[in-house]
Structure 1
Amino acid sequence: MATSTGSISTSAGPLDVANLVNQLVSVESKSRLTPLASKADSFNALISAYGKLGTALTTYQNALAELTAAKFSAQKAAVSNTGRSSDGKSGNDAVSADINSDASTKAQAQIIKSAGFASGHLFKAGDSVAIKVGEASPHFITLKADATINGLRDTINAARAGVTASVVRDDAGDHLVLESNTAGTANLLKVRANNSLSAISFDAQQSRPGAMTQTQAARDATSAAPGSYAISVEQLAQSHKLSSAGIAPGSTFDLGVLAIKAGSGSTTLIKPASNTLAGVRDAINAAAAGVNASIVSDGKQEHLVLTAKESGANNALRISGTGDFAVFSSDPSGNASTASVTPEKRFSQGAVNLSVGARTISLKPASATAGAAPGLADVARAINEAKAGVSATVQREGQGDKAVERLVLSASGSDPVSLRGSGDYAVLAASAMGQLQKPQDARLSIDGVAITATSNTIKDAISGVTLNLNKTTSATDKLTLAISNDSSGVGAAVNSFVNAFNTLAKAMAEMTRQAPAKVRGQAGEQGLLAGESMVRALTGELRNAVLASMPGNALGSLTAIGVGFKKDGTLDLDSARLAKAGERNFEAVAQLFAGKEGLVARTRSLLDKVLGEQGLLAGKTRGLQGSLKIVSDQQAAARARLANLRDSYTNQFNRLNVTLSKMQASQNYLTQQLARLRRP
């Protein structure tokens, strides 16, 4: 491509073509490009200013989202003791209480799930879905390209439609799951979809085959009823805890079977990978048998300690051991029983060894009948007369010729008990782990009503309150649990709103600022959005959302709780007035903010219209970007015209320079010729 001669200046003449052209083009450039550059700067500044406004509004919107009903339903619990505790000191530490700590009292978001889609299923480009959360405006989402279920999930999440989308997989295929980002019954989901997306439609009022179904219902937070409750604690819940007899270090367990049953659970057979006591412990812990196992050493021997994971009388441990594992046997009653024998059974030879903890006593029972061999009753008498902390009884089962008897041993202490016999007494083998802690329920009374619980954490005795039992009370204790509304929590919530609004109000005031000139004849200062009518209208709407009354509310509006505007457009809070309003009607204060027609709902609806993808702010920004594009195109066209003008000027001055150069040469020639004619 040949170079334009207009871009090349010549010095073959008296004229400085380049300088002349630059000066002329500079004048043209100022008249054509400078106004366009000024317009572009103005549009860019407005786009930036609207971006800052959007950020400020989003920050305010996020702050409002934190003002949930739970923020305005804070309660507190205080326990006092007007009596004298059993240790002679006034105390209230037998019971503590947590308000709304039970998961069942928390607000819960709605969750819906689609039917299963086959792997690789595609949703078609151009199909759309509308998601509506509560009373907010629906968000419309259109697929720009074919998408898998994972692509649909990502598109929904990117749209910020007030829900969180996820995908779960099971035998039925891939399921799309939508969860409302805001808990409570005021934020129910409604989904409308078309064409390939129609299967993810949902409407709780309509049942459609193949549509999404609800897997978790929305729930509002519940609060406890304020009041005073008299509480006494007669007994704390305990877990069953057992200890084996002493086992010599290095002992192995090669023969037999160990079975553990906790409460009403199923029986678990334990199969140690190692035959040591540590191997037995590890096998029990790995078996998920409802018990924790540990080893405790007394310096000479080791003891296997088993503790039920759940407390309560119904969660006692039953352990059956045979062979080498018989030492770990234990009945929930804590008794040890021998095998059954016939009532006529007599023991002519041998002896009985009774072990209680580390102590072993050798017994040779004598018959109560002269000349007769001792029977089972004589063995029981011998054990009782030994006064070893173990009582023995004979238990009879069956009738007539089917009757049998067994020896039952009951320890008065917590030491393990075992019975071993030699000779004829060998059939009387029995053992039981020591009971370090018996299983028992908690027993308490609330306002005279007796309550039994398997745990020391009581969640259902008082609605919305979790009681924690720490110790028993005495007859002289007079514990009172007082539940009251926490006005300090409400005050913090209202203060957070006032601060969030004032931050927004100050930002918008700066953006729309119009300050008069300090010097006559000069222009005053103003914010970038001072001339934007949309921003001024939005400021008014935000103020009206704060000032508006709430129909049916006993307090009427925020002015009744001490919230009002100052001259500069920011809010002020009269804390004393708020406290009095809370004392009069605690629930009404919460509804002013978190009710269906309260401040949060009103402002959220307004901000959705402003901040949404099709909102006023996005529309305004797109308009400014369109205007900026026009100016950018005009600048490009102007630069092209200036380039052509430069070429034209350069060509013209080049030709003139050549002409002047020729004229100068002719003048020089004539001058020389005339000079020759004058010579003599």
Structure 2
Amino acid sequence: MNIGAAATASGLDINSMVNKIVEAERAPKEARINERRENVDVSISAYGKLKGTLDEMKYLMADFRRNHTLSARTVSSDTPEVLTASASHEALPGKYSVKVEQLARAHKIVSGSFDDTEKMGAGKLAISLGASSFNVEIPEDESKILDVVRLINRHPSNNGVMASVIKDDVGARLVLSSDKSGEQNSIKVRVDAPVASTLQKFGFNPNNEINSMREMQAATDAKVVIDGLAVVTSDTNTIEDAIKGVDLNLQALAKDDENGQLQDKPVIVDVAYDRNAVGGAIEQFVNAYNQFYATSQELAKFDPETQEKGPLVGDSIIRSVDNQLRAAFSTPVEGAPESLRTLSELGITTTMQGQLEIDYDMLDRQLAQNFADVGEFFSSREGFARKVEDLIHAHTGITGSIKGRQDSLNEQRMSLNSEQEKLDRRMDSVQKRVHDQFTAMDKAMGEMKGQLSSMMSMLPS
């Protein structure tokens, strides 16, 4: 920082001299601060990488435990255009015959034709959908059909009746539709208006043989027959848990491909253990651990020949986590099935290099013979997934050892920033003091030069 111009009395470049003096004092101190800050930043980044690989394994274990990932089922339908299905981990493997006899449909009714440009007059429509109802008051000046449609659709108590108008060559017609399927969700309309009013065209009661409006589509429940015995109905086209752990999603009634006639052929729903998905999930776990191990080795490495070392060489947290994980991998899980109590019985072992590897023949054999036990080993209340999840959380959680180390490093970084600010203020002060000293010296030299010149002028030539 230049405080003043170069001196003229002495001929010295004061600014340059001051800057060199200040920089000589600043440089070693600032270099130490920067070196310490760089080391802190490298350590913070290293702990972040370590925490990331551990958290990936922890989240995987949480998924195993909470979402029953290792008890997955597959489900298929031989006629997906008629029926599809989904299965939870509770579904029992087997083949099920499902005959779709009826689909759930929403009620839809339509009025006779009328002139949509004329007012229909004042009146009231009492509309009900299932067990709920609302009354639509129609004033004289808002009694055209579009007014009536707007009053119905915008009524605050309307819980699912949708009004619309269709036009044909004869005239306009009012259509009322339910937004809910099922027999219990049929529409009724009672009209309170003069006998000659056009509003009388809108009365409907499904229990009456004669109505002003007619059904375009009846309100029906879905109906299926399972294995030729169990008759199950639903007010929607999704039938839940009629087969344990399986939801049936009805799409259509079966039709013959050639002439479009309805068939009497049932759909076969096949539920099975999803061994491929479970094997893939176990492979994910092994890969996640191996990624952690490779990262930890890189962070804690030390090469005696090159003296190259990682940012966390000698760190106790890495040793602690690795030792605890290895102990968890080799210790039998309490309460686990007799057929599967350790990872090695699943075909997962530790190599000489320290990574995990899978014996796929043994894994496939366990999945084929003891599929349910695999899920129990990982996902039970005190199973393997819970052990690993809790172990890792003790290091990566908000009160964990890694978080504590990161907090300490962040405090060091803040302290170094404060040191840098103090150094900057001190150097500003030094620069001003040195500059003042050189300026005073320059002034004194100027005065001496003036005196010398005056004395020289008094001497004989």
* TM norm structure 1: 0.51
- Post-superposition shift, 1:567? 3.8
1:70 maps to which residue?
68
- 3-state DSSP class of the match of 1:439? coil
Per-residue deviation, residues 379-436 of structure 1 (Å, max 9, x unmatched):
xxxxxxxxxxxxxxxxxxxxxxxxxxxxxxxxxxxxxxxxxxxxxxxxxxxx521222
Is contact 1:260-1:289 (8 Å) kept?
no
1:551 maps to which residue?
334
The one-letter code sitting in structure 2 at the alignment partner of 1:434 is R
2:182 maps to which residue?
312
Match of 1:276 among 144, 155, 161: 144
2:136 is the counterpart of 1:260: no
- Post-superposition shift, 1:301? 0.8
Match of 1:332 among 203, 206, 210: 206
- Post-superposition shift, 1:223? 2.1
Greater Cα offset, 604-613 or 33-42 = 33-42
Which protein is richer in helix relative to its size?
Answer: 2
1:143 maps to which residue?
none
Per-residue deviation, residues 557-595 of structure 1 (Å, max 9, x unmatched):
222333333344333334554343223233322233332
Per-residue deviation, residues 346-398 of structure 1 (Å, max 9, x unmatched):
xxxxxxxxxxxxxxxxxxxxxxxxxxxxxxxxxxxxxxxxxxxxxxxxxxxxx
- Post-superposition shift, 1:613? 4.3
CA distance in 2, matches of 1:227, 1:74: 14
Is contact 1:240-1:439 (8 Å) kept?
yes
Is contact 1:268-1:289 (8 Å) kept?
no
2:295 maps to which residue?
507
2:363 is the counterpart of 1:578: yes
2:351 maps to which residue?
566
- 3-state DSSP class of the match of 2:132? coil
- 3-state DSSP class of the match of 1:605? helix
1:292 maps to which residue?
162
Is contact 2:100-2:266 (8 Å) kept?
no
- 3-state DSSP class of the match of 1:443? strand
- 3-state DSSP class of the match of 2:180? coil
CA distance in 1, matches of 2:72, 2:180: 32
Distance 1:486 1:622, change over 3 A: closer
Distance 1:456 1:608, change over 3 A: closer
- Post-superposition shift, 1:482? 1.7
1:94 maps to which residue?
82
1 or 2 for the larger relative contact order (CA 8 Å, sep ≥6)?
Answer: 2
Is contact 2:396-2:402 (8 Å) kept?
yes
- Post-superposition shift, 1:51? 4.2
Q: How does 1:449-464 map to 2 (within 5 A)?
A: 449-464=230-245
1:470 maps to which residue?
251
Q: Percent identity?
A: 27
The one-letter code sitting in structure 1 at the alignment partner of 2:202 is F
Is contact 1:232-1:472 (8 Å) kept?
no
Per-residue deviation, residues 150-205 of structure 1 (Å, max 9, x unmatched):
xxxxxxxxxxxxxxxxxxxxxxxxxxxxxxxxxxxxxxxxxxxxxxxxxxxxxxxx
Distance 1:606 1:247, change over 3 A: same
- 3-state DSSP class of the match of 2:106? coil
- Post-superposition shift, 1:619? 4.0
Please, which runs of 5 or more residues in structure 2 have no aligned partner? 1-9, 11-16, 255-261, 442-461
Distance 1:515 1:433, change over 3 A: same
- Post-superposition shift, 1:505? 1.6
1:433 maps to which residue?
213
- Post-superposition shift, 1:39? 6.7
1:57 maps to which residue?
54
1:537 maps to which residue?
320
Please, which runs of 5 or more residues in structure 1 have no aligned partner? 1-10, 12-17, 81-90, 101-221, 337-430, 518-522, 655-680
Per-residue deviation, residues 324-367 of structure 1 (Å, max 9, x unmatched):
2111112203522xxxxxxxxxxxxxxxxxxxxxxxxxxxxxxx
The one-letter code sitting in structure 2 at the alignment partner of 1:435 is E
Larger Rg: 1
Distance 1:297 1:436, change over 3 A: same
CA distance in 1, matches of 2:33, 2:146: 86
Per-residue deviation, residues 275-324 of structure 1 (Å, max 9, x unmatched):
11112122222231532222111133111111223223333322222332
- 3-state DSSP class of the match of 1:57? helix
- Post-superposition shift, 1:254? 0.7
CA RMSD of aligned residues (A): 4.1
- Post-superposition shift, 1:45? 4.3
2:285 is the counterpart of 1:497: yes
* TM norm structure 2: 0.72
- Post-superposition shift, 1:534? 3.5
- Post-superposition shift, 1:504? 1.7
- Post-superposition shift, 1:508? 0.8
